[in-house]
Structure 1
């Protein structure tokens, strides 16, 4: 490891995420859509949400898209709509954001952790096969960073073991495999529109996407206090009778209006993200101390990844993060504590060493800034700071 040289002044910080420039470029359209919300006077669960759902159906190819107030709520509602019962097991990857597993608890089930494929960071099919128990009811892989899990292999295990397949596709808008959009390989999936996502709102927002009409109808009811009767055809007409205990998880129309406007440049943004990732690859390929750059697994059929996050594995990760922070470079650590070691899941009885691939990633993985507004000189500054840490010089 090279000795770290003294700090140098940072003339301009490089945030981990920013959408200021693209937001300015889209502002006329966003303003037009938001003004429609104010003119119509319906701020939640209204016509802008209905329009956004139709646009999301057109983009993903799903039969149904149901807007809700966050990606986490989307997971809870999807699991409940699939009939998850008290204490039934849901097999989830142990390396993911906490909502992947906490949603299972909130829906009444019990998380059952599965180790990951170290290349894709997604649930490993062989590990899934070994993790199934008589209590297992559903399996929910998560698609992380820039590519989907191996859905052919996971779907085969699910079918062979009698498991219902759903997807935590919160990060995966635009990702496809075998010609299908992420989230549409089983009974349904979810999307998150948290501001830093590939398609982000101005606050929390999410959606359930599904080809299953029963799932769609149940999610529609659950998001609105359990009131059945709302369909995509007659939205927002709804029964005043409550058929099941539900939630107040309706999407705000202002968020729907913003997302509708931003959808118009989503494909342009996806292309730009891929270009930035390729630039990072070239700049960092030979830097000592970098254990691995993102690797894309080739899939048969019509497959496409999307660079939501540019994740690398490095030696001395925590000190690198501190160094980059001093250089004014924002980073994000994914995920410093794998789910089986989170205090909220201590009752499940796991300990360090149970899931070695997830634990290795949690100690080495860090994400560098990647978003369409990232300027070339900002990327050069990021790469120079990484090289400086490992070699003692920026070039």
Structure 2
């Protein structure tokens, strides 16, 4: 039995005719940079998310960088964020000249612990950057309350959470802006890099559109130093094909998570993720206790089962941020325990049962 952690072949085969039609349409149009295909996707995705502005960008990392700059974050500022996330979250803060301030996580959610945020606020704090890790929304209500009390901006990192909801609203629409990634493995993924910034703020949207096009409203009339960060028309066309299916796919991911939880319930040495409202399970991530994580992963690999560790080193322990003071014990602990199991449309009950059997045997 071979079960990869991710297999896009099932999705591509299902969409093949529509994908080929969309790609052919773009090729025959001769318009590959921005243009009507990107504009159409921006309209459609804004309507889906329930937000006023959607700005297509080159990557999720660019969405974070441009989002921070559009919100006025820059040199000398501090941004509070989680140490348990992909490097791009903190990297974007550093790239705009600000300093990431890491606050520990709630090990139950894997997300930023709101109760710890107030103690990290200083006169230099400009924004909070929560991450909806693994597809589970961060606790946005207390985060937004803290931000309002202290006059801070909130940029949501939604790279792993397209379609997730919090209190009935799509993530990315709760803060001042939301950044999305369309990396191929995401819940809504392109077949190459792509990103999106969303906001209800007209000024933030205007700034983001300028920044993605070398800091100009009109070509050759540059007003600031910006970026070359435009969503390709081909990727926009592919995303337009996939967008109408994303809710059904997310529901299937939740069903896979339910089956995992049922099959693994009560297994000693495992901590299972909660299936909460709005969670879209970009990853199904367990914690393996007793220092056995790496051995279990190796055993599963020998059995043909793909897994990943997201993430083995919390950001404050990386060399680039090794100067960060203090110890963030929960982030450090879960980094040594987490293991993401196969997740996606390629998993049927038989394959999932095989994964569970091998996992239990490996413990």
1:383 matched to 2:363? The reply is: no
User: 1:212 offset after TM fit, Å?
Assistant: 0.7
Matches of 1:137 and 1:57 in 2, distance apart? 26
Give the alignment of 1:1-395 within 5 angstroms.
Answer: 12-228=1-217, 238-290=218-270, 292-296=271-275, 304-315=278-289, 316-346=292-322, 348-350=323-325, 354-390=327-363
Matches of 1:349 and 1:96 in 2, distance apart? 16
User: 1:146 offset after TM fit, Å?
Assistant: 3.2
SS in 2 for 1:387: helix
Could you say what the CA RMSD is over the residues aligned between the two structures, in angstroms? 1.2
Q: Deviations for 1:268-319, whole angstroms, at most 9, x for unmatched residues? A: 11111111111101111122221x100245xxxxx52211110100121011
SS in 2 for 1:158: helix
Matches of 2:263 and 2:175 in 1, distance apart? 39
Q: Which runs of 5+ in 1 are unaligned?
A: 1-11, 229-237, 298-302, 391-395
Whether the aligned pair in 2 keeps the contact of 1:341 and 1:350 (CA below 8 Å) is no
Q: Deviations for 1:64-89, whole angstroms, at most 9, x for unmatched residues? A: 10010110010000001111121210
Matches of 1:51 and 1:332 in 2, distance apart? 35
Matches of 2:162 and 2:205 in 1, distance apart? 19
**Aligned length, in residue pairs:** 361
Q: Deviations for 1:310-347, whole angstroms, at most 9, x for unmatched residues? A: 0100121011111111111111102100010011112x
TM-score by length of 1: 0.89
Whether the aligned pair in 2 keeps the contact of 1:54 and 1:65 (CA below 8 Å) is yes
User: 1:169 offset after TM fit, Å?
Assistant: 1.4
Matches of 2:173 and 2:10 in 1, distance apart? 33
SS in 1 for 2:112: coil
SS in 1 for 2:254: helix
SS in 1 for 2:156: coil
Matches of 1:81 and 1:157 in 2, distance apart? 21
Residues 178 and 286 of structure 1, relative CA distance in 2, 3 Å threshold: closer
Matches of 2:310 and 2:21 in 1, distance apart? 37
Name the larger-Rg structure: 1
Whether the aligned pair in 1 keeps the contact of 2:257 and 2:275 (CA below 8 Å) is no
Matches of 1:46 and 1:59 in 2, distance apart? 20
